Structure 1
Amino acid sequence: MSSRLTFGTIKRAGAILIAIAIVIAAGIVVGQAPAIFGVEEEPQASITFEDQQGNGSAVTIREVTLSDGGYVVITDGGDEPLAVSEHLEAGTHENVTVEREDDATRELVGQLTATVHQDTSDEEGYAYAETNGEEDQPYLEDGFPVGATATVTSTDENARGDSFLVESVDAPAEATTNETIEVNARIRNPTEYQAEQPVEVRIDGVVYERQVLELEGGEARNVTLETETRGAPPGDRTIGVYTEDGGAVTRIDLTFHTEPSVAVADADNGSVTVSAAIPERGFVAVERNGTIAGTSNELAPGEHENVTVDLPDDVSISDEEELTATLYAGNPGNADAASPITFEGSPVRTTFTLAEVAGDESGSDTNASADAGNGNDSSGG
């Protein structure tokens, strides 16, 4: 009897161990092993908050994604929130309206920041202030709260004081990121006195053109602001004309003006120099055996010459060893989280050796718009 029990116990134990091994293997395959043992990935979020006009009582968040649900909190740079969204379930939400707190003394106008917060409290509702910041903390990315800043201009003329008013704005529906466009606006001086004030064109909140306009008291004038789009990020963007406290916005679809590319101009054991056409904020990485060996500084969207990538001092690279220069979207300070930039479905990269670069008298030895799958899409010059 005893031996049977012992044998049966051993069999059950063996079966349990086999089951655990199967679960672990399956978890590793599908990426769920950490969750099985209570180790979860860090919560993630993203938010798009754009310049807009409003009546001071509410703002609109164009898009927010929360891995674990939570709230969007609106502030003006201070510690006290001006508005908190309703609870948002995990997932992506578009055109979220965030209304001002009933007891808020400040209207939702001016430069505002929208921050994405988690929902970790057992109590109903946003509990960050009530728990002294212990619960419902912000989502983090690279150690910083996930948020976005936008300028909200008031639709109430009386609230704008002596500011020139933007009565209308008109901009092209489409443009490239390397041309001069005409942005037309009608500006009015609501006061009885002659005045000078700056008028700005902003794309996604960044100033691209600025003029000083002089208007007589009560005068309204149609103005044309020639605006260079160089350096603006591609995509569906807000474009607006702003005065001191007034503004009006519309949308523009910006297309990157050339094919993304990276070209190696010079290279040795210490550094690699490239030129790059990068369609979004990112960097150039030099890879060795599939691992990033060095990165450039962060690059704004556009074309860049003489971009330097420093290589490790303690690594010796032979003249015939194959290296790869690749365009990445993201922050070079957190290269592991960055993503290769693709064009027509393939990463934008080029392979080279120190010997090839040294032997090219043209000074621009390797150039690639995208890896076509053969490991090297390069041409001279």
Structure 2
Amino acid sequence: MSTKLTFGTIKRVGAILIAIVIVLAAGIVVGQAPALFGVEDNPEASIEFEDQRGDGSSVVVDEVSLSDGGFVVIRDGGDEPLAVSDSLESGTHENITIERDENEGDELVGQLTATVHQDAPSDGSYTYEESDGEEDHPYLENGFPVADTATVTTTEDDGALSDSFTVDGLTAPSSANTNETINVTAEVTNPTELATQQDVAFRLDGTVLEQRALELDAGETREVTFQIDTSGTPPGEQTIGVYTERDGAVETIELEFHTDPAIEVVDTSDDGVTVDTAIPATGFVGLENEDGDLIGTSDDLEAGEHDNVTVAFDENATVEDDEELTAVLYEGDPDEREAATAIEHEDERVETTVTLADAAADDEGDAGDENASDDGEDGA
């Protein structure tokens, strides 16, 4: 009898040990599932795109690293890409030549931006514009697409470059705030033997902010000054440049946000809250409940100061009058909440708390004060 008991005990202990091994193994597999199946929770990328000379039909990207594969897309500030690389596997690639479709798009000259896009779904085809941004999203870093800009000039010998006005110098401040007007001055020369008129454009990180027609006599050099309002431009290092048809000059400028990030609730309702905010990056205002869950967001906001921003509760959100809500500034896209990050100032989140009941009481108190003031005036 004693022998059977001991044997049974051993069997039970063995079964328990096997069960523990299975659970631990399952836990390891689950924990490593993203890595095992090639899925990146937070895909990362980097790119180096240097100034260069080319023939207008192709450009060379010096280096790109992609954690989950994808594409490099070349743009000139317009809505449509000028060229897209072949599908790239995950890892680091050097000296990638990207050719434009000869039947579509402009020549690959001027200031160009190379942006790294994911291949999602993983089908080897680039469809970001075709899917209205639903597929093949750009890789992001701090909420912004991973990209680099370069000035590409032509090496053609047909005189096309010599017929273009040239930019011989660029003067711009090295730093500025995001609510001021800066002066950017360029020296533009007509190298031809004929008086002619050409367009000169100012670009900020590849986007044309101002363009004007300039008429110069043969061999004439003239200073052209652009007055640029930096309001709404994200803080940080930005590339600024002045461009002619086939030439240009660039500088960098460090933009500092002009005020402390802040958020203030100015009104509440059964549908949400209204806030005034100063946000230093493209993002949104989110509403969190007492459990820290996002239960509502504003529309996307450009960097800057905004008054009377509506932050609506989600359709299925349930909010009690005495529940403490937290309005938080987020950097990112309100339609992609999981990828958004809370904005911090002096190592603390930029946020404020409110309850619907307290807000309603404040409104009633303000109304009472106004009525009392009116009664006093009538009595007088």
Which bracket does the TM-score occupy, shorter chain normalised?
Answer: 0.7 to 0.9
2:333 pairs, out of 331, 337, 361, with: 331
Q: Distance in 1 between matches of 2:306 and 2:48?
A: 28
Q: Tell me, yes or no, if structure 1 residue 297 matches structure 2 residue 299.
A: yes
Q: 1:162 to 1:79 in 2, by over 3 A?
A: closer
Whether the 8 Å contact between 1:260 and 1:276 is mirrored in structure 2 is yes
User: Partner residue of 2:153?
Assistant: 154
Q: 1:138 to 1:239 in 2, by over 3 A?
A: same
Moved more, 316-325 or 65-74: 65-74
Whether the 8 Å contact between 2:195 and 2:218 is mirrored in structure 1 is yes
**Cα-to-partner distance string for 1:288-338 (whole Å, 9 max, x where unaligned):** 221111111111111111211112455553433211111111111111221
Q: 1:18 to 1:98 in 2, by over 3 A?
A: same
Whether the 8 Å contact between 1:233 and 1:279 is mirrored in structure 2 is yes
Q: 1:331 to 1:314 in 2, by over 3 A?
A: closer
Q: Secondary structure at the match of 2:335?
A: helix
CA apart distance, 1:186: 0.7
Q: Secondary structure at the match of 1:332?
A: coil
1:348 pairs, out of 347, 350, 362, with: 350
User: Partner residue of 1:98?
Assistant: 96
Q: 1:112 to 1:252 in 2, by over 3 A?
A: closer
Whether the 8 Å contact between 1:85 and 1:98 is mirrored in structure 2 is no
Whether the 8 Å contact between 2:117 and 2:136 is mirrored in structure 1 is no
User: Partner residue of 2:209?
Assistant: 208
**Cα-to-partner distance string for 1:4-60 (whole Å, 9 max, x where unaligned):** 9998776544322112223445677xxx25358858446724456779554456444
Q: Could you tell me which amino acid in structure 2 is paired with residue 349 of structure 1?
A: E
Q: Which residues of structure 1 form unaligned runs of 5+?
A: 119-132, 364-381
**Cα-to-partner distance string for 1:80-113 (whole Å, 9 max, x where unaligned):** 75x66997736xx9xx643456x99997425565
**Cα-to-partner distance string for 1:173-196 (whole Å, 9 max, x where unaligned):** 111111111212111123333333
Q: Select the structure of larger CA radius of gyration.
A: 2
Q: Tell me, yes or no, if structure 1 residue 192 matches structure 2 residue 193.
A: yes
User: Partner residue of 1:246?
Assistant: 247
User: Partner residue of 1:44?
Assistant: 43
CA apart distance, 1:257: 1.2
CA apart distance, 1:277: 1.1
Q: Could you tell me which amino acid in structure 1 is paired with residue 91 of structure 2?
A: E
User: Partner residue of 2:268?
Assistant: 267
Q: Could you tell me which amino acid in structure 2 is paired with residue 67 of structure 1?
A: S
Whether the 8 Å contact between 2:197 and 2:213 is mirrored in structure 1 is yes
User: Partner residue of 1:67?
Assistant: 67
Q: Distance in 1 between matches of 2:346 and 2:65?
A: 27
2:23 pairs, out of 18, 21, 24, with: 21
Q: Distance in 2 between matches of 1:154 and 1:193?
A: 22
Q: Distance in 1 between matches of 2:82 and 2:240?
A: 30
Q: Secondary structure at the match of 2:24?
A: helix
**Cα-to-partner distance string for 1:257-298 (whole Å, 9 max, x where unaligned):** 111111111111113111111111111111222111111111
User: Partner residue of 2:288?
Assistant: 287
Q: Distance in 2 between matches of 1:152 and 1:278?
A: 31
Q: Could you tell me which amino acid in structure 1 is paired with residue 348 of structure 2?
A: S
Whether the 8 Å contact between 1:151 and 1:205 is mirrored in structure 2 is no
Q: CA RMSD in A?
A: 4.3
Q: Distance in 2 between matches of 1:7 and 1:17?
A: 15
Q: Distance in 2 between matches of 1:73 and 1:154?
A: 18
Report % sequence identity. Answer: 39
Q: Which residues of structure 2 form unaligned runs of 5+?
A: 140-146, 368-380
Whether the 8 Å contact between 1:199 and 1:241 is mirrored in structure 2 is yes
User: Partner residue of 2:373?
Assistant: none
Q: 1:245 to 1:271 in 2, by over 3 A?
A: farther
Q: Distance in 2 between matches of 1:134 and 1:319?
A: 46
Moved more, 270-279 or 5-14: 5-14
User: Partner residue of 1:174?
Assistant: 175
Number of equivalences: 341
Q: Tell me, yes or no, if structure 1 residue 109 matches structure 2 residue 109.
A: yes
Q: Could you tell me which amino acid in structure 2 is paired with residue 288 of structure 1?
A: N
Q: 1:270 to 1:35 in 2, by over 3 A?
A: closer
Q: Distance in 1 between matches of 2:260 and 2:117?
A: 35
Q: 1:169 to 1:51 in 2, by over 3 A?
A: farther
Question: TM-score, normalised on structure 2?
Answer: 0.72
Q: Distance in 2 between matches of 1:19 and 1:52?
A: 57
Q: 1:297 to 1:135 in 2, by over 3 A?
A: closer
Q: Distance in 2 between matches of 1:357 and 1:176?
A: 35
